[in-house]
Amino acid sequence: MAEISAQPFSFPFRKQEIALVVIDMQRDFAEPGGFGASLGNDVGRITKIVPEVKRLIQGFRDAGLPVIHTMECHRPDLSDLPPAKRNRGKPSLRIGDEGPMGRILIAGEPGTAILPELAPIEGEVVIEKPGKGAFYATELSDVLKEKSIKQLVFAGVTTEVCVQTTMREANDRGYECLLCVQATESYFPEFKEAAFAMIRAQGAIVGWTADIDDILETISHA
């Protein structure tokens, strides 16, 4: 069986069962004036990984493997936004407020869109999610079942929030999860490293981590 060189040990690669999930590569997390910046974060950290995320997506497309994108966003009437989420912290702009790129994290607004360099192409699934995890209140489980997917490679932002939450949700649902080290980022470098360590500890208790070139190398021979 083909393997991807990974930590804490090789990831068993099954071509018919694998998909890439790109988490929340949205303008709201990567550009000034968006949600990430409103929380006081350095969004420049996120834009730096765009070329690597693009390379990973292209590798999956070239290998004929599915790519799934997620977007953290809410309905314009905020009916899927619990007050506990809207009121959390002291951002300069709250979810639903009008910002320089439209209403913060609201479906259909310019700032909520996926970065143009990473835009989904025809046929790729886009999951709109109101939570940090991509399984909560979405159709993701049904999509994966319908495609007989059992292995998920993860990219996107932020490592310790939406990426790790989704990996944990997926792990509990029986998916084998692999996080691409170069294609994920956090506003906090120490949290990114801690997330990698937590994921692969105790014999891959949540999943695996791997370098992008090792992933691309294996899938290119698929």
Sheet with strand 125-129: strands edge to edge: 125-129, 67-72, 18-23, 151-157, 176-185, 208-210
| Stretch of residues binding ligand C5J (CB under 6 A), selected from 89-97, 112-120, 156-164, 170-178 | 156-164
Asked if residue 31 binds ligand C5J (CB under 6 A), the reply is: no
Asked if residue 81 binds ligand C5J (CB under 6 A), the reply is: no
Residue 158 vs 209, nearer CB to ligand C5J: 158
Helix (H, G, I), strand (E, B) or coil at 110: helix
Name which of residues 103 to 142 contact ligand C5J (CB under 6 A).
132
Asked if residue 72 binds ligand C5J (CB under 6 A), the reply is: yes
Which of the following is catalytic: 129, 132, 177, 180?
Answer: 129
Residue type, 69: H
Which of the following is catalytic: 73, 162, 177, 180?
Answer: 162
DSSP class of residue 106 equals B
- Establish whether 129 is a catalytic residue: yes
Asked if residue 183 binds ligand C5J (CB under 6 A), the reply is: no
Distance CA(85)–CA(2), nearest Å, equals 42
Residues contacting residue 164 through CB under 8 Å, at least 6 positions apart: 195, 198, 199, 206
Distance CA(4)–CA(81), nearest Å, equals 39
Residue 24 vs 109, nearer CB to ligand C5J: 24
Asked if residue 157 binds ligand C5J (CB under 6 A), the reply is: yes
Distance CA(125)–CA(144), nearest Å, equals 10
- Establish whether 142 is a catalytic residue: no
Cβ of residue 134: shortest distance to ligand C5J, in angstroms?
10
- Establish whether 177 is a catalytic residue: no
Applying CB under 6 A, among 43, 57, 134, 162 the residue interacting with ligand C5J is 162
Strand pairing category for 98-99 and 102-103:
antiparallel
| Stretch of residues binding ligand C5J (CB under 6 A), selected from 117-125, 133-141, 155-163, 200-208 | 155-163
Kindly write down the DSSP assignment for every residue of 56-105, as one continuous string: HHHHHHHTT--EEEEEE-B-TT-TT--HHHHTSS--SS-TTSEEBTEETT
DSSP class of residue 115 equals P
Residue 176 vs 185, nearer CB to ligand C5J: 185
Cβ of residue 70: shortest distance to ligand C5J, in angstroms?
8
| Stretch of residues binding ligand C5J (CB under 6 A), selected from 12-20, 44-52, 153-161, 174-182 | 153-161
Closest CA to 180 of 169, 195, 202: 195
Q: Give the footprint of ligand C5J on this chain (CB under 6 A).
A: 24, 29, 72, 132, 157-158, 161-162
Q: Which residues are catalytic?
A: 24, 129, 162
